[in-house]
Amino acid sequence: MRCPACAAQMTCRLGEHQYSESGLDGVYLSDVELWECPCGEKAVGIPAVPELHRLLGQELVRKRSLLDGAEIRFLRKNLGLAAKDLADLLGVDKATVSRWENGKQVPDRTTDRLIRLVYAAHKGISLPWLMEQFPGIAEQQTPAPPLRVPRSFWSREPGPQESCHR
């Protein structure tokens, strides 16, 4: 791979990447391509992003405490909805969705469940399974533990050994 900044050949190694591009804290991808150039430019090879986001969405729907703002934003964006569209769907004001996503307000337990149900229905997640999980969801927000996701969990593209050396 050539560096976009200086056109030099970049070197590739396999490693772990904190996937802050998702907007979520604590998501780490392992066995991904980490490209580096002598000029200091860096790049990450993340295959099958839609599948990765589907997996992250499923993990958020399973979370055992109320969703936080970044998690609500991730689910909304993963659904392809504008804040106003989500607000209309939930029967709240757009400003309310904004306050949730910015951490200025916490949605109540009923709304949290409704957000999960909307996401699950749209993404084809089993609703009976999800509804069985609801009694175990705590009534407060707690940070999700770090999530380490091996590449093999979301991507069926060539393994990292082959892809680094293409």
CATH of the domain at 83: 1.10.260.40
User: Could you tell me if residue 3 is inside a domain?
Assistant: no
144 or 161: which carries more pLDDT confidence? 144
How far, in Å, CA of 8 to CA of 5, rounded? 8
User: Could you tell me if residue 162 is inside a domain?
Assistant: no
Exposed/middle/buried for 126, CB within 10 Å: 0-12, 13-18, 19+? exposed
**Which helix or strand (DSSP H or E) is residue 43 part of?**
strand 42-45
Compute φ and ψ for 93, nearest 5 degrees. -80, 150
User: Could you tell me if residue 79 is inside a domain?
Assistant: yes
User: Could you tell me if residue 77 is inside a domain?
Assistant: yes
How far, in Å, CA of 126 to CA of 130, rounded? 6
pLDDT of residue 91: 95
pLDDT tens-place string over residues 71-128: 999 999 999 999 999 999 999 999 999 999 999 999 999 999 999 999 998 998 887 8
User: Could you tell me if residue 5 is inside a domain?
Assistant: no
Q: What is the number of structural domains in the chain?
A: 1
User: Could you tell me if residue 50 is inside a domain?
Assistant: yes
Domain enclosing residue 65, as ranges: 11-157
Residue whose entry in the numeric block shows the structure tokens 């029967």 = 91
User: Could you tell me if residue 58 is inside a domain?
Assistant: yes
User: Could you tell me if residue 166 is inside a domain?
Assistant: no
